Amino acid sequence: MNGLRACAQKGFGRWLSRSKAEIVGLQEVRAREEQLPDDVRAPRNWNTHFVHAEKKGYSGVGLYSRRKPDSVETSLGEARFDREGRVQLARFGRLVVANAYFPKGSGKDRDNSRVPYKLDFCKALFGRLQRLRKGGYRVLVVGDFNTAHHEIDLARPKANQDTSGFLPEERAVLDQWVDAGWTDTFRHFEKSEGHYTWWSQRFGVRAKNIGWRIDYVFASPAAMRYVTGAFIHPGVTGSDHCPCGVSVDPEIFG
């Protein structure tokens, strides 16, 4: 979102009401629940749940759902991850929607100093979701992974070989997901280039479509059987990211 309060001023509420979505996951909310306007915090006909970081104006995730989740977990069991408010594991019957805001690997000085933390976060979340799979749940992982997997997933791969978000060790994490049987739902349906979910806010970059595909919906094998389509909506311009998602058979809830 690059800040839900800012996005709300650019039409988020209108988009949400017209979206026809069943479940919406937000990343980088950057606000505590009590700081949100009432029509954003608790819009009519939606159940909402928010997780904020200890640091003000930083990170945070939010979940909007038509039906009330049976439960929502927000901890990976390590304070260094939990204090940044990056995860919601919402259970709806046999479906678990993991809404996650993966850390960036770049530090304050635009170096790659946060890459080890990012990789540790990925390992902890992956382990938690693998256990949910083994427990018989159908799992969809939605969110900003902050990593472009393949060269097709960013406009200028050669210029970004040493940039966090396209480092070999970061891309290897997504290899691990695929090798373990998870499906990148968008790539399952769409093989062509030029599809991105994030663009720099520098003037003209988005208009020229010089972007990165770093937002995904990954599906476990049990969930993928119910996924009927996947999409990216680059025309939605409320932030530097755009929405992406999947269409599913309602039977996924079990």
CB 168 within 8 A of CB 205: no
* Strands 71-73 and 47-51, bridge-based pairing: unpaired
For residue 55, what are the CA distances in angstroms to 30, 51, 58, 139, 203?
9, 12, 6, 29, 30
Q: From 110, 128, 153, select the one nearest 244 (Cα to Cα).
A: 153
Q: Which of 38, 39, 82, 144 is catalytic?
A: 144
For helices 115-134 and 168-179, what crossing angle results, to 10°? 0
111 CB burial (10 A radius; 0-12, 13-18, 19+): exposed
Cα–Cα dist 155/146, whole Å: 15
Asked about 184 being catalytic, the answer comes back as no
Task: Collapse the DSSP code of 118 into the 3-class scheme (helix H, G, I; strand E, B; otherwise coil) and give the result.
Answer: helix
- List, in order, residues 6 or more apart from 80 with CB less than 8 Å away: 117
Q: From 16, 67, 69, select the one nearest 43 (Cα to Cα).
A: 16
B/e letters for 142-159, b = 16+ CB within 10 Å, e = fewer, are bbbbbbbbeeebbbeeee
For residue 124, what are the CA distances in angstroms to 35, 118, 173?
30, 10, 12
- Hey, which residues are catalytic here? 144
